[in-house]
């Protein structure tokens, strides 16, 4: 059986750990702000949908700890996943691999075009970038066009 006070303490820990307000946390996981308030006060039980939404947005949190209070707070990273991430190339890895091409370009747009056209291993179906959004933990953002 779920202990409401302990669950609300774990939920509050998660919100504080990620340096979010309850309102921003609710927005981030896609629930009404009042539902967070009701869960933190112990008024309501968490629904399965709520738990799934939290786990989808914060997959590093241990499910058993979040729901039952058992085990470690965070899931330890799997060595295979870490290894796969380290060998998967990104656009920024290619910039570091091709410093001469970058320094010869006159502006940042031509730098990206040079890198994209010079590397034959990149899928040719890359779409042009229209806008870049940087989302901050406090709920604010910057937009670069």
**pLDDT tens figures, 14-73:** 999 999 999 999 999 999 999 999 999 989 999 999 999 999 999 999 999 999 999 899
User: By mean pLDDT, which of 30-39, 74-83, 127-136 is the weakest?
Assistant: 74-83
**CATH 1.10.260.40 occupies which residues in the chain?**
4-68
- Closest of 57, 80, 67, 92 to residue 8, by C-alpha: 67
Rounded Cα distance between 32 and 81, Å, is 33
- Closest of 18, 5, 10 to residue 57, by C-alpha: 18
**pLDDT tens figures, 81-93:** 544 455 555 555 5
- Closest of 99, 100, 104, 101 to residue 118, by C-alpha: 101
In this structure, CATH architecture of domain 4-68: Orthogonal Bundle (1.10)
Q: Is the pLDDT of residue 137 over 90?
A: no
pLDDT given for residue 27 in this prediction:
95
**pLDDT tens figures, 30-45:** 999 999 999 999 899 9
User: By mean pLDDT, which of 55-64, 73-82, 112-121 is the weakest?
Assistant: 112-121
């Amino acid at each position: 059986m779920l202990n409401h006070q302990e669950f609300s303490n774990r939920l509050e820990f998660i919100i504080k750990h990620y340096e979010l307000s309850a309102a921003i946390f609710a927005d981030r996981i896609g629930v009404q702000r009042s539902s967070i308030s009701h869960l933190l006060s112990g008024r309501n039980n968490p629904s399965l949908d709520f738990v799934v939404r939290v786990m989808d947005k914060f997959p590093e949190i241990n499910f058993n700890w979040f729901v039952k209070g058992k085990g470690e707070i965070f899931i330890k990273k799997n060595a295979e996943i870490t290894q796969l991430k380290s060998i998967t190339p990104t656009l920024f890895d290619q910039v570091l691999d091709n410093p001469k091409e970058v320094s010869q370009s006159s502006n940042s747009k031509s730098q990206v075009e040079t890198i994209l056209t010079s590397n034959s291993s990149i899928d040719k179906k890359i779409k042009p970038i229209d806008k870049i959004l940087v989302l901050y933990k406090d709920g604010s953002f910057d937009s670069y066009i």
